[in-house]
Amino acid sequence: MHGRRRQQEREPTQDELQQAKQRVDRYRALNTHVMDLKATSVFTNDALDATKRLLEQNTELHTVWNYRRTIFTSLDEWQCQDTRQEMLDGELKFLLGIITKNIKSYWMWNHRMWALSSLPRPEWQRELGLVAKLLALDARNYHGWDYRRFVVAQLKDAATDKHEVDTQEFAFTTEQINHDCANHSAWHNRSKLLPEILAQRDEDGQLEVLQTENDLILNAIYTDPDDQNAWLYYDWLLDIQKSDEDRSRLLRNKIAAIRELLELEEDSKRPLVELVSAYAELERLQSGSVSEPEKKECLETLRRLESIDPYRVGRYTDMSRTLSKQWALGA
Amino acid sequence: MTMFGTNQLLVDKHVEFIQNLDKKQDGLEYWMTEHLRVSGIYWGLVALFLLDRPQALDHEQIISYVRGCQNADGGFGGHTHHDSHLLYTMSSVQILSMLNALDQIDGKKVTKYVLSLQQTNKQTNGQTTVCGDVWGEHDTRFAFIAMAVLSFFNTQDQLDTNGIVEYIRGAMNYDGGFGSKPGGESHAAQVYTCVAALAVAGRLDVVDRDRLSGWLAERQLLCGGMNGRPQKLEDVCYAWWVGSALDILRRRHWISAEKLVEFVVSAQDEKGGIADRPGDVADVYHTCFGIAGLSLVRYPGLNEVDPVYCMPRSVVRRLGLHKWQDNVPESWSQ
């Protein structure tokens, strides 16, 4: 359904038509066979095998995944810890074999989670290693990151030192970011861990962590000033500061960084938008902290942005109107 | 340059495309998508209703088929004899309401099924999850579906709305967007489901309107199309996921409607149907959401779509479900 290019049309040959019909007939026969078994509540190893052959061809058949799980839990081998371990280890191997072709299949990932959660002796560390490999192939894979968070939650549950799990996971995001500071998924994950890391430290420790974080995000901003995510993360760091004084200080730092960037490229959209929002926030925190020339500069910047970034002209005119009213300036 | 000239939606071709979907039984694809047939019908029907050609498919046949997809537990499967799931329960209820046949099913049974998937006894941080089916996957999509489905039968106050709202709040991220569950990365489709859910719940106060509107507006790329999150490719379906969320936030004007229309129109297949992007194979999913996206920006000749329910506004009004609009904060409409 996604990303398939249209091919040049030509009439299929008789041979091709025959082959296509055979593929359809084979698939339909297998599907009917499995659904018949399910309808008659057959829970045997043969049925298990039939579901496997069908799911290998189509991982989206969630009804068949459901049936497969029901067969597993109905078999005698399920009742004994050791044979259950064996069955599910085999299941994990099967899933590993089809994972790269079906990396976006919700049902397949759900089944994997079920298999691990049902294991007498799940190896969560090994799972972590597996996900790390997958993310190395596709650093933004949604399902991969969701699954990683699931695995980490299990590790944390079983761990005696839960802080250590958070610390290691935080270090993983640092690694990802150092490899590519535009990895939004890594920054996102980091944003969920940072509060936990901060909670572990005393006041001085927290200041240290936040300073490091500030340096890290500024580095990302300088590396790619157009990366919208870096600015959003910076704003979030502002949000979690303890005092308005800290926020104002960081806003002034932000403005200084923007001015440096604008010297390199004066029509740079992102820094220009951020300039206006930084001043707006500064004035909101403390009325009178932004000068009249600075306010006029904001409105002029918004007018420039209407030409620089015309698709979003509606946003800039809204911002102009709002700020003009708030600051009691002529439009 | 598009090959269609400016703003040329091939209405007749798309109607034909949708009518022919059930005839493509020689292809493997038809059979491999059997498990979501009910959703396929929903997508086709929405497109037809918005194109103002609602009679292009046989209503009685569809109603009969959809009723056949209801299971003993009260839920609906994606096809006959397929296990119940909220995704297909939602599509089924939407289809029946568009065809004015909602009274042909027992709303109490459907309500009971949906309530059975609500996990009230597993609250963490005051959050109540809703599972997609008995196998336990939870996702903000299911939270939305639970609220939406029950609103059709006016039984939504049987849900733990406060707990569900907390779950959705927990899925909000630093960029103002929402993920699939608390901890999940922001994604435009999840933004739609969360914002729509909050609209139904009357809790749009939870949303960081400015931050989220800004994030959504940035989904529009130079080609006019939208992506689902930063750095990703444009895709026609985001005309809906992004457009509907912006509409609810009353910020539709923060993107270029003209450029979006150009993009969606250029993704049409001249033989009928709309693809994810120009030059790709068309499918009914992208046909539905492409047309819904065009309806949101008031493309001429299309019926208006409701941004919460993704159904014609006329149907939503008939069911009395348009009252979510009363819950939009007053300051947003200025």
- Please tell me whether residue A5 adopts helix, strand or coil conformation: strand
Classify strands B127-130 and B118-124 as parallel, antiparallel or unpaired. antiparallel
Task: Please give the average per-residue pLDDT across A15-44, as a whole number.
Answer: 96
Using alpha carbons, list the distances in angstroms from residue B147 to B85, B116, B165, B246: 15, 13, 10, 20
Q: Are B298 and B260 in contact (CB under 8 A)?
A: no
The per-residue pLDDT for range A216-258, each reduced to its tens digit, is 999 999 999 999 999 999 999 999 998 999 999 999 999 999 9
Reported confidence tier of residue B2, pLDDT bands at 50, 70, 90: very low
- The per-residue pLDDT for range A269-292, each reduced to its tens digit, is 999 999 999 999 999 999 999 999
Interface predicted TM-score (ipTM):
0.94
Chain B residue numbers with beta carbons less than 8 Å from the beta carbon of A101 are none
Average model confidence (pLDDT) for chain A? 93
User: What pLDDT score does A247 carry?
Assistant: 93
pLDDT tens string A94-139: 999 998 888 889 999 999 999 999 999 999 999 999 999 889 888 8
Tell me B303's DSSP state.
P
- Asked if B180 and A146 come within 8 Å (Cβ–Cβ), the reply is yes
Q: What is the largest CA-CA distance in chain A?
A: 81
In a mutational test of the A interface, the residue from B17, B81, B135 whose CB has the highest number of chain A CBs within 10 Å is: B135
How far is A43 from A137, CA to CA, in rounded Å? 38
Contacts of A39 in chain B (CB under 8 A): 81
Residue B149: its H or E element: helix B140-152
CA distance A52 to chain B (A): 15
Token representation of residue A52: 């496997």
> Cβ contacts (< 8 Å) between B289 and chain A: which residues?
none
- The pLDDT assigned to B7 comes to 65
Range A193-215 average pLDDT: 94
pLDDT in tens, B95-152: 999 999 999 999 999 999 999 999 986 667 899 999 999 999 999 999 999 999 999 9
Q: In a mutagenesis test of the A interface, which of B33, B181, B185 is the best target, namely the one with the most A β-carbons within 10 Å?
A: B185
* C-alpha B157, offset from chain centre: 22
Check if the beta carbon of residue B183 is closer than 8 Å to that of residue B152: no
For residue B261, give the 3-state DSSP assignment.
Answer: helix
CB spacing of A239 vs B174 below 8 angstroms: yes
Q: What are the two backbone dihedrals, phi and then psi, of residue B134, each rounded to the nearest 5 degrees?
A: -65, -10
CB pairs under 8 A between A and B: 130
What phi and psi values does residue A140 have, to the nearest 5 degrees?
-105, 10
A323 pLDDT above the threshold of 60? yes
Q: pLDDT tens digits for B72-92?
A: 999 999 999 999 999 999 999
Residues B158-183 have pLDDT tens digits of: 999 999 999 999 999 999 999 999 99
- Chain A segment 107-136 residues within 8 A of B by beta carbon are 110, 114
Whole-angstrom CA distances from B319 to B47, B103, B328 are 19, 12, 19
Cβ–Cβ below 8 Å for A229 and B230: yes
> Are A315 and B185 an interchain contact pair (Cβ–Cβ within 8 Å)?
no
Find residues 6-45 of chain A whose CB sits inside 8 Å of chain B.
6, 20-21, 23-24, 27-28, 31, 35, 39
Name B124's bridge partners. B127
pLDDT for the residue numbered A328: 86
pLDDT of residue A331: 42
**Percent over 70 (pLDDT), chain B:** 97
pLDDT for A330 beyond 80:
no
Q: A30-81 pLDDT, tens per residue?
A: 999 999 999 999 999 999 999 999 999 999 999 999 999 999 999 999 999 9
Across the interface, whether the CB atoms of B31 and A142 are under 8 A apart is answered no
A6·B135 Cβ contact <8 A: no
**Beta-carbon separation of A6 and B275 below 8 A:** yes
Q: How far away is chain B from the Cα of A293, in angstroms, using its nearest Cα?
A: 25
- A110 CB neighbours in chain B (<8 A) are 135, 137
Pairwise CA distance, residues A293 & A297, whole Å: 6
- Tell me if B36 and A60 make a contact (CB, 8 A cut-off): yes
CB contact under 8 A, B286 and A1: yes
* Candidates A23, A189, A314; nearest CB to B254: A314
Sequence length of chain A is 331
**What residue in A sits closest to B187 (Cα-Cα)?**
A142
Fill in the amino acid letter for A267: D
Mutate which: B43, B71, B133, B174, vs A, most A CBs within 10 A: B174
Tell if the CB–CB gap between A63 and B35 is shorter than 8 Å.
yes
- What residues of A are in contact with residue B256 (Cβ under 8 Å)? 310-313
Backbone angles phi, psi at A91, to 5 degrees: -65, -40
pLDDT value for B44: 98
- Report how far Cα B252 is from the mean position of its chain's Cα atoms: 17
Q: Is the pLDDT of residue B304 over 70?
A: yes
**Are residues B174 and A184, on separate chains, in Cβ contact within 8 Å?**
no
Query: How far is residue A125's CA from residue A164's CA, in Å, rounded to a whole number?
Result: 14
Shortest CA gap A17–chain B (Å): 9
Tell me which residue in A21, A227, A236 faces B174 most closely, judged by beta carbons.
A236
Residue of B nearest to A26 (CA): B28
How distant is the Cα of B228 from the closest Cα of chain A, in angstroms? 11
Q: What residue spans of B171-230 are helical by DSSP H? A: 188-201, 209-217
Task: Give dist(CA A95, CA A85) in Å, integer.
Answer: 15
Whether the per-residue pLDDT at A205 is higher than 60: the answer is: yes
Q: Is the pLDDT of residue A9 over 80?
A: no
The helix/strand/coil state of A1 is coil
pLDDT band at B1 (very low <50, low <70, confident <90, very high): very low
Q: Say what the pLDDT of residue B118 is.
A: 97
DSSP 8-state symbol, B305: B
Q: Which residue in this structure is represented by tokens 């130079």?
A: B222
- Which phi and psi angles does B121 have, rounded to 5°? -95, 15
The answer to whether A62 contacts chain B (CB < 8 Å) is: yes
What's the distance, Cα to Cα, between the start and end of chain B in Å? 37
Q: Do A6 and B281 touch (CB under 8 A)?
A: yes
The reply to whether residue B27 touches residue A191, judged by beta carbons under 8 angstroms, is no
Contacts of B153 by beta carbon, 8 Å cutoff, 6+ apart:
B107, B108, B110, B111
pLDDT > 90: percent of chain B: 95
From chain A, the residues in CB contact with B217 under 8 A are 312, 315
Question: SS3 for B280?
Answer: strand
Which candidate from B78, B83, B251 shows the least CB-CB separation from A66? B83
Residues in chain B with CB shorter than 8 Å from the CB of A239 are 174
Residue A184 in contact with partner chain B when CB distance is under 8 A: yes
CB of B277 within 8 A of CB of B269?
A: no
Residue A253 · residue A238 · CB < 8 Å: no
Name chain A contacts of B26, Cβ cutoff 8 Å.
20-21, 24
Q: Which residues pair with B118 in a beta bridge?
A: B130
Could you tell me which residues come within 8 angstroms of residue B45 by beta carbon, excluding any fewer than 6 positions away?
B54, B57, B62, B95, B98, B99
Residues B254, A312: C-beta atoms closer than 8 Å: yes
Chain B residues whose beta carbon lies within 8 Å of the beta carbon of residue A313: 256
- Is the distance from CB of B51 to CB of B15 less than 8 angstroms? yes
